[in-house]
Structure formats: structure tokens, C-alpha cells
């Protein structure tokens, strides 16, 4: 049984990926420092799969702790989610973002080299494209200057991985996520934003539940059919399954380059107002919202060309936007 290390494995995307890894027969070891996740998620994962992942509460900024972990655990592959990811926060705390997101990555790559672990999957983001010149966005779309330190850490991270794979003959895949939403069908794991949600869907579900007074729609003066910004919203379980497909490619040595990258989305875009309308229809809940000014750093539209991941990894999304929105609502109602 292959041992797969999942850093940030108690987080939103990480926990859903751990479930799919266990379902696919892998032995999962989680490293998480609980800075943006809850230890209860470990039991929730076990409730879903009847298998409790091994868990280590390690801060990946601690080089000695990272070294000790790899000296005492045999790892066949790594999926690296652990990172700070709030775009707005990163503008105010750049050095915290560079220390956490870059140092941690370097320490893990150093151990991969020491222990010749050659299967690495990096959690990246469509943010690296900024406002793409052409839509849908392909992997050949130019990488634009990052609009935030968070986005810059993803760009720099990919460059560090590319250089390392070339120099040390390692193999890695970077998955560039579009907008992950929803929750596992068991409603035992889902998104747990700490404080005021930054992302649209948790803000919608908290408003629908009355936790938030009103949703602000950040701008309706974009160059889109209804004036609100367009994004590619992908069910988090579909996104999790893309990691299994990427891991199988690496483990079976099917990758054609040392470093490959893939967009992970549905290939379809929806505006904020469309999302609100679909949420209201799917849940029969009227949403209280108002139009406000644009949010700094937001792009007009971003949705993926998914032909490369479909062809190379034989993966495509299976769940509908409706399923994602309903699961997000069911999850919100279940969270205490």
C-alpha cells in the first residue's frame, strides 16, 4: 500500500482529497498545524471512510520538524495543500505569506531530494493567470504579474518546483484550481471559513442562514452580460478526484515531463448574479443582497479550458453546479 503525505489534509480541499485517496486504497498521512482547520475533521474523515489517517501536528515552517518527519516516515508521494490562502490578507501580511508558503515548500522539496521521493502534487490556482487575455483559459495562457502576495507565492512555488524537478530529476504536477465549492455528500466535511468568509459561496450560505445580514455583490459594472464577475465553480469532490488522477499518472510514470501543470475546473463560467439565482432556485431560499463597489484585485472573468486534463489525466468534472450549491447549503445548516 502506497504511503501518501497530504499536507494541509484537514483543510477544505485537503480533507476531501484524503477521503478520495483512502477510497482509492492509499495509506494517508496528514500533516496539518491546525492554523486554518479543526482537529474534528480527522474523526469526520474516519466516519466517512472507516479509516483514520495518521496525523502529525507539525508546522512546516520548522525545518527541523520537517526533516525529522521524513527521517522517520516512508513516503511514496506528496500532495501539498498547506499554505496561507486569503488574497486580501496577503496584501497586508506579505512576509507571513512568503515565509509560510515558500519556506514550507522549500523544506519539503529538500526532503524529497534527500529521500528521492519523486511524486509531488502542488496545490496551485487560476490566480496565476490574473485577467487572462483569452477565455476559456488554457495552460498556455501567459502567467501575469501577480495581483497579490498570495498569488505570487503560487507563481514562485511553481517556478521553484520546476527548477528542482529539472535539477534533481523529480516528477511533479501542479493543479491550478478554479473556484472549489460545495461539500461531501455525507455532509460530514465541508468548508469551514474562520471569521467573515472571504469567498462567495460560504458568504451566500451564511447569509441564507441568517448568520450574515446581507451579501454584498462586489460590482455590477464589469464587461459581462449581467455586469457581475464570472468564475468557474467546481465541486470540491470533483477537484479532489483530480488529485487521484494526477497521483496515478506520477506513480505509473505516465508523465511526459518532469513538471506538468493542469487547469482544474468545469470549463463553464457563471456570474455572481447567476450563482445567486441558482442558489435561490435550488434551495428555495430568498437571498438578501445588494450591489456594492468592486473588490480590489478581482478579475472580470475566469473559466477554464479543461481539454488538457481531460486528455492527459482522463479526468472531467461529474457533479453539477446545482449539486455543489445544494451540498454547500446542507453543509452550512449542519455546522454547529
Contacts with ligand WQD by CB under 6 A lie at 85, 87, 125, 127, 177, 179, 198-200, 203, 215-218, 229, 231, 272, 295, 298
Catalytic pick among 97, 107, 129, 150: 150
CB of 333 to ligand WQD, least distance (A): 19
Closest contact distance (angstroms) between CB of 201 and ligand WQD is 7
Q: Are 261 and 313 in contact (CB under 8 A)?
A: no
φ, ψ for residue 219, nearest 5 deg: 95, 135
Q: Looking at beta carbons only, is 83 or 117 nearer to ligand WQD?
A: 83
DSSP-derived pairing of the beta strands 270-271 and 230-231: antiparallel
Judge whether 48 and 16 are in contact, CB under 8 Å. no
Nearest distance from C-beta of residue 302 to ligand WQD, angstroms: 7
Residue 260 in grid coordinates: 506538468
Distance CA 78, CA 120 (A): 5
98 has catalytic annotation: no
Nearer to ligand WQD, 87 or 250 (CB): 87
**Three-class SS string for 55-73?**
EECCCCCCHHHHHHHHHHC
Please report how close the Cβ of residue 43 comes to ligand WQD at its closest, in angstroms. 26
**Cross-strand pairs, 264:** 177
Cβ(181)–Cβ(284) under 8 Å?
A: no
* Nearer residue to ligand WQD within complex by CB, 85 or 184: 85
**Cβ neighbourhood burial of 160 (10 Å; 0-12, 13-18, 19+):** middle
57 vs 288, beta carbon nearer ligand WQD: 288
The number of beta carbons lying within 10 Å of the beta carbon of residue 170 is: 20
**Is the CB of 138 or the CB of 198 nearer to ligand WQD?**
198
Q: How far is the CB of 177 from ligand WQD (least distance, A)?
A: 6
Asked whether the beta carbons of 150 and 291 are under 8 A apart, the reply is: no
Burial class of residue 293 (count of CB atoms within 10 Å of its CB; 0-12, 13-18, 19+) = exposed
Give the shortest CB-52-to-ligand WQD separation in angstroms.
27
CB closer to ligand WQD out of 30 and 175: 175
Q: 31 has which bridge partners?
A: 7, 56
The DSSP H or E segment spanning 236 is helix 236-251
Query: Which are the catalytic amino acids?
Result: 150
Amino acid at each position: 500500500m502506497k504511503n501518501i503525505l497530504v499536507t494541509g489534509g484537514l483543510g477544505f480541499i485537503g480533507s476531501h482529497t484524503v477521503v478520495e485517496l483512502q477510497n482509492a486504497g492509499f495509506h494517508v498521512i496528514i500533516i496539518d498545524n491546525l492554523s486554518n482547520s479543526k482537529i474534528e475533521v480527522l474523526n469526520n474523515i474516519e466516519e466517512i471512510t472507516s479509516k483514520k489517517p495518521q496525523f502529525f501536528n507539525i508546522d512546516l515552517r520548522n525545518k527541523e520538524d520537517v526533516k525529522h518527519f521524513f527521517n522517520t516516515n516512508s513516503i511514496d508521494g506528496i500532495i501539498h495543500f498547506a499554505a496561507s490562502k486569503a488574497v486580501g490578507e496577503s496584501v497586508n501580511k506579505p512576509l507571513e505569506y512568503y515565509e509560510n508558503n515558500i519556506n514550507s515548500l522549500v523544506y519539503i522539496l529538500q526532503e524529497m531530494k534527500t529521500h528521492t521521493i519523486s511524486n509531488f502534487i502542488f496545490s496551485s490556482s487560476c490566480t496565476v493567470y490574473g485577467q487572462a487575455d483569452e477565455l476559456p483559459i488554457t495552460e498556455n495562457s501567459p502567467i501575469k504579474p501577480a495581483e497579490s502576495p498570495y498569488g505570487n507565492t503560487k507563481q514562485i512555488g511553481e517556478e521553484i518546483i520546476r527548477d528542482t524537478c529539472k535539477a534533481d530529476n523529480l516528477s511533479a504536477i501542479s493543479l491550478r484550481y478554479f473556484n472549489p465549492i460545495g461539500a461531501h455528500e455525507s455532509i460530514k466535511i465541508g468548508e469551514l471559513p474562520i471569521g467573515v468568509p472571504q469567498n462567495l459561496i460560504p458568504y451566500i450560505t451564511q447569509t441564507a442562514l441568517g448568520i450574515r445580514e446581507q451579501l454584498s455583490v462586489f460590482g455590477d459594472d464589469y464587461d459581462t452580460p449581467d455586469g457581475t464577475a464570472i468564475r468557474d465553480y467546481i465541486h470540491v469532490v470533483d477537484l479532489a478526484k483530480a488529485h487521484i488522477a494526477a497521483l496515478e499518472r506520477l506513480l505509473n510514470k505516465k508523465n511526459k515531463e518532469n513538471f506538468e501543470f493542469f487547469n482544474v475546473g468545469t470549463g463553464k463560467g457563471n456570474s455572481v448574479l447567476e450563482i445567486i439565482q441558482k442558489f435561490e432556485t435550488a434551495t428555495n431560499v430568498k437571498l438578501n443582497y445588494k450591489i456594492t463597489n468592486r473588490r480590489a484585485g478581482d478579475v472580470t472573468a475566469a473559466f477554464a479550458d479543461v481539454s488538457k486534463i481531460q486528455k492527459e489525466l482522463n479526468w472531467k468534472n461529474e457533479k453539477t453546479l446545482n449539486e455543489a450549491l445544494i451540498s454547500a447549503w446542507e453543509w452550512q445548516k449542519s455546522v454547529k
